[in-house]
Amino acid sequence: MNLHSLKYKTAIFIILFESLMVGLVLYQFDQVSFNMVHIQAKNDNQSVLAMMSDTCRFAIINDEYKELQPYLENIQRQKRIKTIYLSDRSNVIVASSEPGTLGRPLPELEDYGHNYWLRQQLLNKAGLVGTLAVEFSNELLFKAYKEGRTRAINSALLFMIFIVAVTILLVYFVTRRLSRLVDAVNAVAQGNFDIRIDSSGSDEISMLCKKFNSMTHQLKLSLEERKQAEEAFKRIFELSLDMVCIADIKGSFRKINPAWNTILGYQEIELLEKPLLDFIHPEDQARTLEVIKEKLGKGEPVFNFENRYRCKDGTYKWLEWISRPILDEGVTYAIARDVSKRKQAEEEKEVLIAELNRALDEVKTLRGIIPICSYCKKIRDDEGAWDIIEAYICSHSEAQFSHSVCPDCYQKFKDSDLD
């Protein structure tokens, strides 16, 4: 039994509230009843005293005590009258319900318990003629009052028992569906999204059950979509040829895909247990830290950032990064691509271009109008000297001459030698 359950709390609250109300009603009833009994007894006793006063005044004025004595003794037989004293003006008892007190002075009259004295002075035109003192007992009235109070308490207890029974039934029927709803919520928390609650009716609990069923259905669909998305991401993550990773803002890897092992040669645990700066080329660490602080640390994405990572065999590879930080999660999602071959090609291209530029700088070209003698074919250089054509060309280009004789000249010079 779970005393923290809503139904028990509700039942206890209602019972305590009803008990308080019944207690207040009983208290008010007791006070009113007591006052009514007290007032009724006082009024009745005053009436009896007034009735006896007239008889006693007549008897004491006319000195007729013989008939008065039996009268007093007869009245004294009433259970609420204990003692009657009638004294004259000298305060001597002349008639009494206790014959042994006749002729004695009127004693001190003291109230005790439920007994109390009422006194009535007997007067005529001449003045005081005597005093009538009657001791009344309210024991019977208060006994009846106590019995009535007991009956009222018993009735209240029976009423409370009835209220408790009705409360328990009401709480049971009201909270039974809430208990089922709580059980359904616990089932959903444990992964059971197929559970449904009876939502028939149009009261507030039925509306709540309908909302719960709709919410559970939507949650199931969302979780299925999320699961599919996670599975798709996992497949892409694991099958990607690029290096995919999740890193925290402190500079440590949280998760990497298998491409890291393929490209750099490290096992996953080797990369996760060390800061990523341990794998970066010393010359690239300052640039990397600056990007992390100035870009990723402020929530800005980074595109086409390049640095060198050390492979397990000690060599370095160039990586090109695309990173996007999620500050709320404290992580950065990043993709790196091995661009070492491209960087090598770029370096080779730069070397080739440099070599070509250097070669072009060394090449000497012949440009413009060259002054040549029409007869001897000598050429004038920039300093005004005349050189043979072979010397001029050699000094202004990389060309070299090898002398030979063409067929026409050969024939010409051959014939000239024969002559």
In tens, the pLDDT along 8-52 reads 667 677 777 777 877 777 777 767 766 776 777 778 778 878 888
Euclidean distance between CA atoms 79 and 18, whole angstroms: 41
What is the pTM assigned to this prediction?
Answer: 0.45
Euclidean distance between CA atoms 81 and 115, whole angstroms: 9
Distances (CA, A) of 284 to 280, 318, 332: 7, 11, 19
pLDDT-derived band of residue 148, with 50, 70 and 90 as boundaries? confident
**Two tokens, residue 373:** 């003698």
CA-closest candidate to residue 311, choices 289, 346, 340: 340
Residue that is written with structure tokens 């050699």 in the block: 394
Characterize 104-141 residue by residue with b for buried, 16 or more Cβ atoms within 10 angstroms of its Cβ, and e for exposed: eebeeeeeeebebbbebebeeeeeebbbbbbbbbbeeb
Q: Is the pLDDT at 150 greater than 50, yes or no? A: yes
Find out whether 170 and 28 touch, Cβ atoms under 8 Å.
no
Q: Is the pLDDT at 397 greater than 70, yes or no? A: no
Best-predicted range by mean pLDDT (67-71, 152-156, 184-188, 354-358): 184-188
pLDDT, tens digit (0-9, with 9 covering 90-100), for 197-218: 887 877 777 888 888 888 888 8
CA-closest candidate to residue 336, choices 304, 366, 313: 304
Quote the pLDDT of residue 297: 87
Q: Which residue has the higher pLDDT, 33 or 196?
A: 196
Question: What DSSP state is assigned to residue 280?
Answer: B
Find out whether 70 and 82 touch, Cβ atoms under 8 Å.
no
Burial of 365 (0-12, 13-18, 19+ CB in 10 A): exposed
Quote the pLDDT of residue 223: 87
Burial of 355 (0-12, 13-18, 19+ CB in 10 A): exposed
Q: Is the pLDDT at 307 greater than 90, yes or no? A: yes
**Dihedrals phi, psi of 293, to nearest 5 degrees:** -75, -45
Instruction: Return all residues near 286 (Cβ < 8 A) that are at least 6 apart.
Output: none
Q: Which residues pair with 243 in a beta bridge?
A: 336
Q: Is the pLDDT at 271 greater than 70, yes or no? A: yes
Instruction: Return all residues near 149 (Cβ < 8 A) that are at least 6 apart.
Output: 30, 33
Q: Is the pLDDT at 338 greater than 70, yes or no? A: yes
Find out whether 322 and 240 touch, Cβ atoms under 8 Å.
no
pLDDT-derived band of residue 125, with 50, 70 and 90 as boundaries? confident
pLDDT-derived band of residue 361, with 50, 70 and 90 as boundaries? low
Best-predicted range by mean pLDDT (144-158, 190-204, 219-233, 314-328): 314-328
304: region left, alpha or beta (phi > 0 left; psi from -120 to 50 alpha) = left
Quote the pLDDT of residue 81: 81
pLDDT-derived band of residue 333, with 50, 70 and 90 as boundaries? very high
**Two tokens, residue 372:** 């040549």
Euclidean distance between CA atoms 105 and 92, whole angstroms: 4
Sheet of strand 253-256: strand arrangement: 253-256, 243-248, 331-338, 316-326, 302-310
User: Can you tell me the mean pLDDT for 246-250?
Assistant: 86
Distances (CA, A) of 194 to 183, 187, 191, 210, 218: 13, 9, 9, 14, 11
Q: In a 3-state reduction of DSSP, which class is residue 372?
A: strand
Q: Where are the beta strands (DSSP E) in 79-158?
A: 81-88, 93-96, 115-124, 127-137
Find out whether 308 and 316 touch, Cβ atoms under 8 Å.
yes
Best-predicted range by mean pLDDT (122-131, 332-341, 361-370): 332-341
Q: Is the pLDDT at 1 greater than 50, yes or no? A: no
Quote the pLDDT of residue 417: 55
Mean pLDDT computed over every residue of the chain: 81
Q: Is the pLDDT at 384 greater than 90, yes or no? A: no
Q: What percentage of the chain has pLDDT greater than the value 70?
A: 89
Question: What residue type is assigned to position 75 of the chain?
Answer: I
Euclidean distance between CA atoms 134 and 96, whole angstroms: 10
Q: Which residues pair with 92 in a beta bridge?
A: 105
pLDDT, tens digit (0-9, with 9 covering 90-100), for 57-83: 888 777 777 777 777 777 777 767 888
Quote the pLDDT of residue 418: 45
**Two tokens, residue 185:** 């919520």
User: Can you tell me the mean pLDDT for 80-107?
Assistant: 83
User: Can you tell me the mean pLDDT for 90-118?
Assistant: 82
